[in-house]
Structure 1
Amino acid sequence: ERGLGNLKITIEPEALTHIARTANGDARAALNALELAAITTTPAADNTIHITKEIAAECSQQRVLLYDKDGDNHFDTVSAFIKSMRGSDPDAALYWLARMLHAGEDPKFIARRLLVHAAEDVGLADPRALLVAQAAAYAVDFVGMPEARIPLAEAVLYIATAPKSNSVVVAIDKSLEAVKETAGKGVPVHLRDSHYKGAAALGHGKGYKYPHDYPGGYVQQEYLPPGVAGDFYSPKGYGYERVIKERLEEWKQQGNGRQGC
């Protein structure tokens, strides 16, 4: 009795699937597409309005892209998106973002990729990239589509134009490899917890140097188990990592650098 209830309508399952995908969680968009399809389709001889996938596509005002979320084209598109950002091409990155949004990709999926890319391929060359990606992910949840396309685009542009460094992912992966070989090594005595009763009798914490008691808040001290080389993190010489690299080199030259810096 209300809406389309007085019409005799049949709709192909593929048409429903298409409307659901292109609506991207927007119930109003889905209902508008369905209503437009119903009122613009010529009824059959028995007054039945048959909505096909083609009609649904036209009324959703979406072009059908080759973008099966479980198929090769989906992963190829995502790969092109990531590689465009990594390659510092903002126009290409925006294009592939638009392709994904146009095809009905879940914006939360895109936001997750931005977070990973900001940490993996920008890293400490510009630590703000991760914050921008995080803000975009928050915006996706807070405002939803279609407005969320704007903060997503802002994050894509920021990341694409930021200095690049993969030193963070290289460092953690090298650390994980080292742990596989040295996980059985004990924590050095001077680094062990000395706050519980009886810890002092065991020598825990003995010889520990409190960094804030030394000039510059830093003092040479071994923090790794014996036999573990601290050569995991190698900052690049550009972006914010240039500052980090200079600081580590200064400590090393002064004789206050941690072994492996």
Structure 2
Amino acid sequence: MDLFSFANQTLIEENAPLAVRMRPRSLNEIHGQDEIVGQQGFLRRMIESDNIPSMILFGPPGTGKTTLAQVIASSTGCHFEKLNAVESGISDIRKTVEAARERIKLYGKRTILFIDEIHRFNKTQQDTLLPYVEDGRLILIGATTENPYFEVNLPLLSRVRVIRLKPIGKSSMLAIIKQALIDEERGVGKLAINYDDSVLEKIVDLSHGDARIS
């Protein structure tokens, strides 16, 4: 990355919405999913042992599905690719898989393919993923707000682990908001905003477990 590109990327990050700037960058920054990635969480143990299965993350909006996929990639040194099932097709899958094959051949670097709204893929598109998931050419992480047992084909479902993310609880949501208020690098800490806990609790109630709304 040249100096101009770096400066441009920095400008984009600085002007990104607060929810984007405060997106967790490590497992320890993720709130509200302790059963999965807490100190004793089963997925944390898999990540720390570098034994990542293909998976489908299932949960309401704002529970951290995209964030978790990105953190898994950064924690394991994997290359991260993202496709949206609404905008992508079979050709996009194949291009991504071919790039993943070259990447591991040349650099020994695995690829995590994150597919948002994976339930929007039709049967043929979902079936296209099967051989690549089976032979380990990539690690698939799908995300959906719909029940995958009704929306994802059984052959693909049998080759992944389904992980349910719960709405973020009140105490975790308060911690997220307070961190944004005091963080001077990515949050609004430099503004020294005065706040009342009762106001924050009202914000949490209105967010309905969606960290992006809060």
Q: Normalising to structure 2: TM-score of the pair?
A: 0.22
Q: Relative to total residues, which structure has the larger helix share, 1 or 2?
A: 1
> Does 1 or 2 have the higher relative contact order (CA < 8 Å, sep 6+)?
2
Q: Normalising to structure 1: TM-score of the pair?
A: 0.19
Greater CA radius of gyration, 1 or 2?
Answer: 1
